[in-house]
Structure 1
Amino acid sequence: MGRKEIDRGPAAGQRSVTNHNIYCRNRSEFMLFSMFSTERFPSWAKALLILLVLLVVLLLVTGGLLVHFRQYFMSVYQVEVDSGVESVLLPCETTVQLPEDVKVEWTDRDNWKVHVYQNDSDQIEEQHQFYRDRTEMKRNLLKTGDLSLTLKYPTDKDRDRRTFTCTVYNREGNILMKKQVELKVRVCQVEVEEGVESVQLPFRTTGDLPEDTTVCWRRVEPKPATVVHKYENGSAQPKKQNQFYRDRTEMKRNLLKTGDLSLTLKNPKVRDTGRYVCEVDGIDGNWLRKKTVLLQVKVKKVEVDSGVESVLLPYEITVELPEYVKVEWTDRDKRTVHVYQKDSDKTGEQHQLYRGSNRDEEKPAETWRPQSDPEIPHRQRQRNLHLHHLQQGGKHPDEETSGAPGQSLSGGGGGGSGVCPAAVQDHRGPA
């Protein structure tokens, strides 16, 4: 029995020690867990986390408001349109409910009043005459918040006005909102080389125009402005166009029905270069359409290698010339290169530098054999030659009045640079 008690003693003591160890170990883990839990989420960290969450929410709300009300924060809204279109929309919208007594005013950069809306109606008497009958705003604009302006028949002059501003005033005259729109009107540009048969100045618009519509093409630059072609009362009016363009212009049939108001200019000259404007007016003088076209007629150039036997300086015309005309080629130093008159070459009037170097053909083109010229440096031997048609004719719209009747046409020149002017004069001589 003593052995059994001795055997049980150590076992019981061992269990007691084991239980104590387990208790102490569990308590330590609990205390350790509590300590880590307390250190992982202190109060200052919780406060910082809350602040970060609030900041993120604030940024999201602010970003949403910026997107929603972006028209208030954009400095300038840009709109591009081609010259000659029927209308362009200058946008301006708001989601804020506006009072019924507000005043909506559109102005340009010169503070001209483009359109004024107040008391549920348009205030036409406050509008600048340049924009009269050319603007329109939508109905119920205060309820919908759509304050956009429709500008009819935009032109390059509207491009010069460029920045348009929509301003909303309350009854006391205080500004409730303001928005700017920048309008860019693209002008059509046409380039062609002198000597082609014709060139077209394009203008296509909506068809079915009134039968009493007047279409007038003018060249406004360089000044003075001149009538190039006029369509009125259902037909062309050649008596109302400048004589320089007589028999050189043409428009398509049924142009009012099709809306194709393009102008064909035959035998374009360098002096035809300029700014052309087509205006479409109603019988009461109202401005229906308008388009601007920039025409650039380039000088025809001829390049040739030094030492070749000859070079052809081309110049052709479609106009039938009288038999008494005098055809004269000169260089840039006004020396006579070749003279043709009365079915023969006038070698006696020719400068000695060009004696035996030229040969006239059926067409008024010149064949020149390049040769040394001791009077000028080698780098200047490539010349501009000028063709002068001497016949009866009218005056070019660009020329100043002179004693002799004449009309300047552009001649083709080989090499060099610059424009080759020519003159058309009466040179009948004695009978």
Structure 2
Amino acid sequence: MNDNLLKFGDHSLTIRYPSYRDRNTYTCSIINRRGEELMKKQVMLNVKVTKVKVESGAESIELPFKTDANLPEDAKVEWRDKENWTAHVFQDGADKLQQQSWYYRGRTEMRPNALKDKDLSLVVKHATESDCLTCTVYSTEGKILLRGEVLLQVKAHKEVVGPQQSAVELVFKTERKLECKDIKVEWRNRKDRKVYRYPSSDQSEEQFYSYKHRTEMKEGQIEKGDFSLVIHFPTDCDNDIYTCKVYRGDGTILMKKRVELHVKDHQVEVEDGCVTLPFKTKTDLLNESRIEWLLVEPTYRIVHVVDNRKSGSEQSEEQQPNRKGTKMNENLLETGDLTLTMEDITEDDCGKYKCVIFGKQGMILQEKTVQVLMTGMNQLQNEMAPLIDQV
């Protein structure tokens, strides 16, 4: 601020090198010694930055940053992301890879004559996350000579499927030929849980248990540049963002892509006092399992239980009785059909139901949600939705 602000009445605030994250509304208040507010003003700051858009799975993207300034040859160029991780460092005509954060190793590059050509653009390979990257040029004394920002927007492919689809393919195909023989492929979800790994012999115990027996990559597809993953019997609990990484045995990343999966909500209506809640899955999941159908909203109660960890009967002495008028297929272990039929339905039975498959030690192997509505409620909800949005 101005040192003589009281004398000249200038209360302006200067922000040096404003960045994208500085966008905000700033309030200046002038208060006397008695705590009384004499003046107040709000200023909205909007910082414009270069935006670059790219589809997830693209081999590389350039973050442009050109300048007309005459920069010294010994200046240091540093790219950082919004988490302050170092994406790239360039100095004395060479890349300083030892100063780079592990996340960006082997994935960034700048021109050899970047300072001479006045082109400080950064190439990022296999970008999967949107980010705001800042380029700062320092003198040898550490003084900031120049600063610029680029907003990187990575769009993930979205796969939308119906609630009763038997399988979904998360597509990742390329025409690029990969010469190396020791290719490995790894799919992970947003929580970094391992969904699938190729070769399948490397699967081991690291694969997260809710994906076991339900994921696969087709035989021979890798040689054709197809790294797509198939998820069998997807449910709403599989809604997630999945990242595929293709790399060599030494860990060098060759390709990377994100795919978002959305399984539509499953709604069923009561007809003639009865309702059917469909759910099919892999039979391999049901060995020594406990299957529970639950009403979870608006109230909670256990509706039907099949315990295969005991005698295979539908209830044991320890569990509470199933709701009257419910039944499941007797040969569900052979068919994988966990569909629940309910009779004598009242309005109190409407709501959100969840089927949970428990494995050993209580691990949840798979879940599915089904919304039960009285006849006509679904149409009413669709008619009310635009009115609610207007409010």
1:271 is aligned to 237
Percent identity (aligned): 34
Q: Give secondary structure in 1 for the equivalent of 2:115.
A: helix
| 1:134 Cα deviation after fit | 1.7
CA distance in 1, matches of 2:302, 2:84: 58
CA distance in 1, matches of 2:142, 2:287: 78
| 1:358 Cα deviation after fit | 6.4
2:63 is aligned to 90
- Is 1:228 aligned to residue 198 of structure 2? no
Contact kept in structure 2, 1:278 and 1:290, CA below 8 Å: yes
- Is 1:102 aligned to residue 71 of structure 2? no
| 1:229 Cα deviation after fit | 1.2
1:215 is aligned to 185
TM-score by length of 2: 0.65
Correspondences of 1:24-423 after superposition (within 5 Å): 75-156=48-129, 159=130, 162-205=131-174, 207-209=176-178, 210-221=180-191, 225-232=192-199, 237-240=202-205, 241-304=207-270, 308=272, 310-319=274-283, 331=295, 333-334=300-301, 336=303, 354-355=324-325, 364-372=338-346, 378=347, 380-385=348-353, 387=355, 394-395=359-360, 402=362, 407-411=364-368, 413-415=370-372
Structure 1 window deviating more from structure 2 (175-184 vs 98-107): it is: 98-107
CA distance in 1, matches of 2:104, 2:322: 65
Contact kept in structure 2, 1:87 and 1:151, CA below 8 Å: yes
Contact kept in structure 1, 2:289 and 2:359, CA below 8 Å: no
2:38 is aligned to none
The structure having more radius of gyration, on CA atoms, is: 1
Gaps of 5+ in 1: 1-73, 373-377, 396-400, 418-431
Change (3 A) 1:371 1:217: closer
1:48 is aligned to none
CA distance in 1, matches of 2:67, 2:160: 44
Q: Which amino acid aligns with 2:165?
A: V
Q: Which amino acid aligns with 2:195?
A: V
Query: What's the CA shift string for 1:150-185, capped at 9, x where partnerless?
Result: 1112122xx3xx222223344554444322111122
Query: What's the CA shift string for 1:102-122, capped at 9, x where partnerless?
Result: 333323334433222222222
Q: Which amino acid aligns with 1:198?
A: A
Q: Give secondary structure in 2 for the equivalent of 1:409.
A: strand
Contact kept in structure 2, 1:75 and 1:179, CA below 8 Å: no
| 1:266 Cα deviation after fit | 0.7
Structure 1 window deviating more from structure 2 (283-292 vs 93-102): it is: 93-102
Gaps of 5+ in 2: 1-46, 332-336, 375-391
Change (3 A) 1:314 1:108: closer
Q: Give secondary structure in 1 for the equivalent of 2:283.
A: coil
1:31 is aligned to none
CA distance in 2, matches of 1:220, 1:204: 21
CA distance in 2, matches of 1:236, 1:281: 16
* Structure richer in helix, relative to its length: 1
Q: Which amino acid aligns with 1:168?
A: V
Query: What's the CA shift string for 1:205-261, capped at 9, x where partnerless?
Result: 45322211211112342xxx43221113xx654435344433321224444443321
Change (3 A) 1:358 1:202: closer
Change (3 A) 1:124 1:371: closer
Q: Which amino acid aligns with 2:350?
A: Q
Aligned length: 314
Change (3 A) 1:98 1:327: closer
Q: Which amino acid aligns with 1:211?
A: K
Query: What's the CA shift string for 1:62-116, capped at 9, x where partnerless?
Result: xxxxxxxxxxxx8411112222322110101124454433333323334433222
* Structure richer in strand, relative to its length: 2
Query: What's the CA shift string for 1:299-338, capped at 9, x where partnerless?
Result: 4210236xx2533332333527989998775655535569
| 1:384 Cα deviation after fit | 4.4
Contact kept in structure 1, 2:236 and 2:369, CA below 8 Å: no
Contact kept in structure 2, 1:90 and 1:150, CA below 8 Å: yes
